[in-house]
Structure 1
């Protein structure tokens, strides 16, 4: 399908080294794009032991988005940027997010870095009349009592998507988002590796299964394509129906 062909396009997926971000990066690569990814480990080879990471064919850079100085100093080895996907994210368990240090770290990665990265690439997205996709979470629509920083930051990402969607529309940049439900990645292993928790979670999902990185990638491809040319500032909830009940 011509509208889903990204040949000749340049894509950057922040947080594209594993999980949902990696699934999105690989989908763009399969559709002809030149794809760059940012991750936190020193090199692509350092992800060899990660079951949800495949960096073959992707251009990798180490950038820790928790540190604004690294974002500012990160190279931009492409002349144009057609699609920016912001899929960075972290979560802390065992009530670590109730402490100032834990709360600040999660918010820095999940929210503040979104704006820093958006600002860094604004000019290139404007020149390409490109698209930005922000990955938030279904947590933006309900309470997560053990993770106040994760919830606050993902709710903030939802709001930032709307606001930048309006603010940058006249620059020719389309900003939209995806709010994944329960997807099996390293961030959700506290649930997916616990049979009792997993059973309860699956009961709450009408489709009866976990989401996959590919499920999220399919939506990202749509949002970046001409098929979504009249969509702006929207965050699509992709959760298998979890929040319908």
Structure 2
């Protein structure tokens, strides 16, 4: 039998794949034979050379700021695309999300840009009978004190997965999502750099450890593969039991 996790000859685009969870996913697909494209916000791949959790070796990089719909529209197109993963994310601290500017920026990146990407690559995904995976957060399922835009945008992403799944299924496109729990990335440094907050966070996770980009990549490989051929419109929670 052929390996269902062999992505040789397939094209994968990971929005937000320049670092963190997205980069972990990019490395996983590359290791399994895929042609992997990633988007980031810096001018070139070389600008990520000193970034922890970033390895762009062997990846095709493009600079696209997804908070600007015009940049998404002007990004490189594909005739055919097997996998599109929307792993972009933004958060504002110090109660900035209660102000219009902070609210608008977080919603633009975490929710509106997913729809913009889906719209742009819909035809290419249909051509390949491909998959779209939206990475949200367990924040979709509980309150996030001080971050109303983050929580609302992630809950919106979960709802968007369901709606796009129903809308695109007749074209052969499967849409699903992943909701990561507590993963060490630059977005969670407000906790990981604070020993007291870190201890409290781990105490709430039954597995007593943080998640890793590799943990999230495993779920992405599954959802992009024939192993999940009958899975549609679902957002898989990958959180070590945090939301239990």
Tell me what 1:43 maps to.
44
* Distance of 1:148 and 1:81 partners within structure 2: 34
* Distance of 1:69 and 1:38 partners within structure 2: 15
What runs of 5+ residues in structure 2 fail to find an aligned partner?
A: none
Secondary structure of the corresponding residue to residue 2 of structure 1:
coil
Secondary structure of the corresponding residue to residue 214 of structure 1:
helix
Tell me what 1:26 maps to.
27
What runs of 5+ residues in structure 1 fail to find an aligned partner?
A: none
Tell me by how many angstroms 1:80 deviates. Answer: 1.5
Tell me by how many angstroms 1:74 deviates. Answer: 0.9
What TM-score, normalized to structure 1? 0.98
RMSD: 0.7
- Structure 1 residues 69-88: aligned runs within 5 Å: 69-76=70-77, 78-88=78-88
1:129-156 superposed Cα distances (whole Å, 9 cap, x missing partner): 0000000000000000110000010000
Matched residue pairs, number? 243
* Distance of 2:74 and 2:172 partners within structure 1: 26
Tell me by how many angstroms 1:220 deviates. Answer: 0.1
Q: Is the 8 A contact 2:73 2:120 kept in 1?
A: yes
Tell me what 1:241 maps to.
241
* Distance of 1:29 and 1:130 partners within structure 2: 17
Tell me by how many angstroms 1:79 deviates. Answer: 3.3
* Distance of 2:161 and 2:19 partners within structure 1: 23
Tell me what 2:5 maps to.
4
Q: Is the 8 A contact 2:79 2:127 kept in 1?
A: no
Tell me by how many angstroms 1:107 deviates. Answer: 0.3
Secondary structure of the corresponding residue to residue 243 of structure 2:
helix
